[in-house]
Amino acid sequence: MVVYGDSLVWEARSAIRELLRGPNPARVEALGGAALCDFSNRIVENARTEPTRMVVIAFSGNTLTTCARRLGPSPTAAQVAAMYAADLDWVVGHLRALGIPVLLVGSPPSIGLDGVSFWTPINAAWQDAAARWSAQGAAVSYADAGGALSDGAGQWTGTLPCLPFEDATRGCSGGVIAVRAPDTGHFCPQLGPVRDGVAPECAVWSSGAWRYGRAIAHAVQQRL
């Protein structure tokens, strides 16, 4: 099993590996700033050349790399979602022919400069693709893993109630803990400078990364 993604999956990689360890542990291939098109060929080639129980795909909608810049400057959210959907269809078409199940993973909410919470349109594109491919008999499903980082109303939140094992040494204070980075998009509560979408290593406990990784692992376990 391989989990592909961008910086959010990269941040959550330790939790994913720990929770999906075993005789055939999950491998994580993720890169900050990456788009699905950066991994498309690799996903298919890996699936063709190695035993694969499932492919997990989790991208939030970056358009920073060469292959994603084919849309031109300042693409609309709808154009970005359509590009990701087209790239996904190409990947899923190959994986279906190989008989490999696909799990599409939703990203957590973001928050704008105006304080308004919003979700990446890639989540909706993933849901639509899962429904469409499933209707054709393909083993493609969607998991709202990003919801693990939202509040009770499904909105962006910087903090959540501490998990049972999170104490003051891990940042729990007053029953809550930071789950999003100062840049509001990533997870590390003491995140250093992010360049071209690449987040540095987190020097402290990252509750947000753990929760996202746990949600991905839970979704995988439900489908295996």
Say yes or no to pLDDT of 32 above 90.
yes
The predicted pLDDT at position 120 comes to 97
Say yes or no to pLDDT of 224 above 90.
no
CA neighbor of 56 nearest in space, from 69, 47, 48, 66? 47
What are the pLDDT digits (tens) for 184-220?
999 999 998 888 878 889 999 999 999 999 999 999 9
CA distance 19 to 28: 12
The predicted pLDDT at position 147 comes to 97
What are the pLDDT digits (tens) for 34-77?
999 999 999 999 999 999 999 999 999 999 999 999 999 889 99
| pTM assigned to the model | 0.96
The predicted pLDDT at position 194 comes to 84
Strand-strand pairing, 2-5 and 55-58 = parallel
Sequence-ordered alpha helix ranges (H) in 50-202? 77-97, 121-135
Cα angle, residue 141 at apex, residues 26 and 112 outer, rounded to 5°: 90
